[in-house]
Amino acid sequence: CNVVVLISGNGSNLQALIDSQDESHPMQVRAVISNRAEAYGLQRAATAGIDTQVIDHRSYASRDAFDDALIRAIDTYQPQLVVLAGFMRILTEAFVQHYHGRLLNIHPSLLPQYKGLDTHRRVLAAGDPAHGCSVHFVTAELDGGPVAVQAAIGVHPGEDIAALTARVHALEHLIYPLAVRWFAEGRLRLGDRGAMLDGEPL
Ligand code: GRF
């Protein structure tokens, strides 16, 4: 299963995916594409011997033009799966359609709660007892696609945002490689009515 990963920043989830690869894994990260040249994840990819590309959204006149360039670059690698790992651009409907059923994202909340940015602060402000992260198939609705894997933790009394963020991030590094492995093994897929694991609705 050839995978292309899109990033904008640190790339710790990318690193977790890279680290999960071995000879027995049916998944191979073929390329990492960033919209920001300074994204540290590009160095992580280069260190692992993975192709990298920068496609700077500021060089394109429109979102459509940027997404077209992105599609062309991604499709050079003929990936079965495209993985968003901290890619901080909203994708067009055309892009999302093009990769229907083979585009995953990870979001730091227990979706459908807390779509969008700033999730950890909002969870603390609401006094929620639990928080977590979700891997989901991407659809046209931002952070609204069918959830594939979700992990939850309790929020500690008095916990600050840095500690909570770090704990959720560590959880992301567990569930994203798991979801990608299941997809690569043909166990996880997007059905007509949502995500399916081993032929059963999730
Ligand atoms: C993660 O918190 C992920 O949930 C969100 O962006 C962040 C990326 O972190 N979509 P990293 O670049 O993988 O370290």
**What is the pairing mode between strands 28-34 and 51-54?**
parallel
Q: Are 3 and 103 in contact (CB under 8 A)?
A: no
Structure tokens at 120: 């950890």
Q: ipTM > 0.90? A: yes
CA distance 100 to 190: 8
103, amino acid identity: L
Please work out whether the CB of residue 9 comes within 6 Å of at least one atom of ligand 1: yes
Ligand 1 pocket test: pick from 5, 106, 138, 176 the residue with the most ligand atoms within 8 Å of its Cβ: 106
pLDDT band at 25 (very low <50, low <70, confident <90, very high): confident
pLDDT, residue 127, reads: 97
Please work out whether the CB of residue 119 comes within 6 Å of at least one atom of ligand 1: no
Point out the ligand 1 atom lying closest to the alpha carbon of residue 16: 13
pLDDT digits (tens, 9 = 90+) for 91-100: 999 999 999 9
For 163, the enclosing helix (H) or strand (E) is: helix 161-184
| Domain 2-189 grouped into CATH 1.10.150.20 | no
Please work out whether the CB of residue 10 comes within 6 Å of at least one atom of ligand 1: yes
Which residue is it, tokens 């969870």?
A: 123
Portion of the chain with pLDDT greater than 90, in percent: 98
pLDDT band at 88 (very low <50, low <70, confident <90, very high): very high
Q: What is the pTM of this model?
A: 0.96
